[in-house]
């Protein structure tokens, strides 16, 4: 274990030395604070689905802090207060806003972690020099009505990030007003992106992606946009130590209606940070921590002007964002259809469905064919294996109690993945068993097809080896499968 850890550190060290000599410097405050992150982590957030009422007590608490100035800057359509939280006394104004899209909450969590860091007793000399140079202004959760529903758009159904010119949303107007009144030197536009993005040419998720948005159609680079690019290069360097090859760069096509592009145009050095996916981190708690580190590093760099010495050419070397990931990728499976033999790859994605306080996954076949240019969070070479469509269990079970007594592993070994049930509970679409339950009337379509259920078997020489149930893969020859899973209930 110890050796593995040492090797891991060595590997990261060598990697950053070879590919980015510029960044192999002494770790900055961002990286050091990252090591002690648990002390600053705001415990009010355990997952990424929280609402305005959850951040209000935190803002109330900040009002009692002498160092922090809290101002209401507007109200959402449904009457939720929008706040600006400011700290520091320097001349450089840095404006950071999160969750303009209601379902993109990762950076909101990181903002409150940052305040815990600012208000802690640690690094007091470093923070004193930071706040002598900068004044930070945070707008956490710019779109609280969207956050209430965990949806992208605001209460009007408008994408606030396409409202920078027309300014019909109170959220967009508040942001514009603050930017203009501060004439902010720096702007951080904090978002989340799809978990299926990867950094081009790399088989891992793009956990963080950056953009220094263009301010015109020609994608010109003036000094300020250049500064934003340099700061991104610095943040990338910090992140590469923790998530090598998991940082991407967004396409910089000018979007005339977007806030990032316009704020750059209005003279604020603007940086877009997008939080994507990471292994075993659907709730983005690890990604939140990376946000904390990257933003903190950037703030110190702004204070110390250290980004200025960065080689701007390195910006273009950050790989472009690509969208080539699946949750599960299965390759080279033998498949017989209409009496003919084929070799196919399958790309399977599991979409999140919220039911009350629980999040369930619904697995679908997203792509079929030659997927050799794609990647998977899980990736399995199935050369020599064959696809076996799932069958419907011939016995009808009465209710959930009877269902709970079934040995699902044996069922899988016999090729059954669907069970008909007489008494299907109201309003339930998922089950905690590795099975697809169907009411007596429900349509069941076990064919492996594009857009269909990711429920089938994989066998060798006629014997079933793997079950894929609702996108979750199990080895049916083994007793233990300690994975979080859920099945589906078809009504
Ligand atoms: Zn967004």
Distance 198 CA to ligand 1 centre (A): 17
Rounded-to-integer distance, Cα 140 and Cα 143, Å: 9
Q: How far apart are the CA of 100 and the centre of ligand 1, in A?
A: 7
For residue 102, the CA-to-ligand 1 centroid distance in Å is 8
Distance 175 CA to ligand 1 centre (A): 15
Tell me, what's the pLDDT at 27?
76
How far does the centroid of ligand 1 lie from the alpha carbon of residue 192, in Å? 5
CATH class, domain 325-490, is mainly beta
Residue 407: burial class (beta carbons within 10 Å; 0-12, 13-18, 19+) = exposed
What does the pLDDT look like over 449-465, one tens digit per residue?
999 999 999 999 999 99
Residue 194 Cα to ligand 1 midpoint, Å, equals 10
Ligand 1 center to 445 CA (angstroms): 36
Cβ(272)–Cβ(187) below 8 Å? no
- If you measure from the C-alpha of residue 371 to the centroid of ligand 1, how many angstroms do you get, rounded to a whole number? 28
Spacing, Cα 121 to ligand 1 middle (Å) = 34
Q: Quickly state the pLDDT bin for 26 (edges 50, 70, 90).
A: low
**CA–CA distance, 305 with 308 (Å, rounded to integer):** 6
Tell me how far the alpha carbon of residue 190 lies from the centroid of ligand 1, in angstroms.
Answer: 7
Contact status, residue 264 vs residue 228, Cβ threshold 8 Å = yes
| Pairing outcome for strands 456-460 and 386-389 | antiparallel
* 8 A C-beta contact, residue 74 and residue 177: yes
Instruction: Sketch the domain layout of the chain as residue ranges.
Output: 23-322, 325-490
Given a cut of 50, whether residue 269 has pLDDT beyond it is yes
Pairwise CA distance, residues 394 & 371, whole Å: 35
Beta partners for 334?
343, 386
Distance 191 CA to ligand 1 centre (A): 4
- Centre of ligand 1 to C-alpha 211, Å, is 13
Q: Are domains 23-322 and 325-490 of this chain identical in fold?
A: no
What pLDDT, on a 0 to 100 scale, did the predictor assign at position 479? 73
Residues 39-55, buried b or exposed e (16+ Cβ, 10 A)?
ebbbeebeebbbbbeeb
- From ligand 1's centre to the CA of 35, what distance in Å? 28
pLDDT in tens, 419-440: 999 999 998 899 999 999 999 9
Rounded CA separation 233/210 (Å): 9
pLDDT at 481: 60
- Inter-CA distances, 50 with 54, 55, 103, 105, 148, Å: 6, 8, 9, 8, 8
Residue 277 C-alpha to ligand 1 middle, in angstroms? 14
Superfamily grouping for domain 23-322: Zn peptidases (3.40.630.10)
Residue 6: pLDDT band by 50, 70, 90 thresholds?
A: very low
Supply 187's token pair.
Answer: 């702007």
**Ligand 1 centroid to residue 392 C-alpha, Å:** 42
15 C-alpha to ligand 1 centroid (Å):
31
Mean pLDDT of 478-486: 74
CA–centroid distance, 273 to ligand 1, in Å, is 9
Under the banding of pLDDT at 50, 70 and 90, the label for residue 482 is: low
pLDDT in the model for residue 480:
66
Q: Is the overall model pTM greater than 0.85, yes or no?
A: yes
Separation of 388 CA from ligand 1 center, angstroms?
40
Q: Answer with the residue of higher pLDDT: 359 or 18.
A: 359
Q: What is the pLDDT of residues 294-330, one digit of tens each?
A: 999 999 999 999 999 999 999 999 999 999 999 999 9
Say if residue 2's pLDDT is above 50. Answer: no
pLDDT tens-digit profile of 127-163? Answer: 999 999 999 999 999 999 999 999 999 999 999 999 9
36 Cα: distance to centroid of ligand 1 (angstroms): 29
What is the distance of C-alpha 83 from the center of its chain?
24
């Amino acid at each position: 274990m110890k050796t593995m850890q040492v090797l891991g550190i060595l590997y990261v060290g060598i990697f950053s030395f070879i590919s980015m000599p510029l960044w192999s410097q002494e770790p900055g405050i961002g990286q050091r604070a990252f090591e002690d992150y648990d002390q600053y982590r705001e415990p009010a957030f355990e997952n990424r689905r929280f609402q305005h009422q959850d951040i209000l007590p935190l803002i109330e608490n900040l009002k009692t802090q002498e160092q922090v100035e809290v101002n209401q800057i507007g109200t959402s359509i449904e009457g939720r207060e929008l706040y600006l939280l400011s700290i520091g006394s320097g001349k450089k104004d840095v404006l950071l806003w999160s969750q303009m899209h209601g379902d993109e909450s990762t950076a909101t969590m990181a903002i409150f972690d940052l305040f815990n860091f600012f208000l802690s007793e640690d690094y007091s000399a470093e923070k004193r020099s930071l706040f002598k140079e900068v004044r930070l202004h945070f707008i956490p959760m710019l779109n609280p009505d969207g956050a209430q529903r965990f949806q992208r758009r605001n209460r009007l159904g408008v994408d606030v990030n396409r409202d920078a010119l027309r300014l019909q949303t109170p959220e967009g107007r508040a942001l514009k007003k603050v930017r203009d009144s501060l004439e902010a030197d720096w702007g951080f536009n904090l978002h989340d992106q799809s978990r299926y993005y990867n950094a081009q040419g790399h088989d891992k998720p793009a956990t963080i992606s950056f953009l220094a948005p263009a301010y015109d159609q020609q994608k010109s680079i003036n000094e300020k946009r250049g500064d934003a690019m340099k700061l991104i290069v610095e943040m990338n360097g910090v992140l590469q130590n923790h998530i090598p090859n998991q940082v991407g760069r967004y396409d910089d096509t000018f979007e005339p209606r977007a806030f990032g592009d316009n704020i750059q145009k209005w003279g604020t050095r603007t940086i877009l940070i997008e939080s994507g996916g990471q292994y075993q981190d659907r709730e983005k708690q690890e990604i939140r921590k990376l946000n904390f580190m990257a933003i903190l590093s950037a703030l110190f760099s702004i204070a110390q002007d250290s980004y200025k010495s960065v080689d701007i050419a390195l910006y273009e070397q950050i790989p472009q964002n690509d969208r080539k990931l699946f949750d599960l990728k299965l390759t080279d499976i033998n498949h017989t259809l209409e009496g003919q033999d084929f070799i196919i790859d399958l790309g399977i994605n599991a979409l999140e469905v919220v039911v009350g306080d629980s999040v369930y996954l619904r697995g679908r076949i997203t792509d079929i064919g030659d997927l050799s240019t794609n990647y998977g969070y899980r990736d399995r070479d199935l050369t020599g294996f064959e696809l076996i469509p799932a069958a419907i269990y011939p016995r009808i079970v009465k209710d959930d109690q009877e269902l709970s007594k079934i040995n699902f592993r044996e069922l899988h070994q016999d090729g059954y993945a669907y069970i008909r049930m007489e008494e299907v509970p109201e309003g339930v679409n998922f089950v905690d068993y590795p099975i697809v339950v169907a009411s007596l009337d429900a349509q069941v379509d076990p064919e492996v097809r594009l857009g269909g259920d990711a429920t089938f078997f994989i066998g060798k020489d006629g014997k079933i080896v793997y079950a894929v149930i609702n996108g979750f893969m199990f080895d049916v020859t083994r007793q233990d499968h300690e994975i979080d899973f859920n099945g589906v209930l078809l009504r």
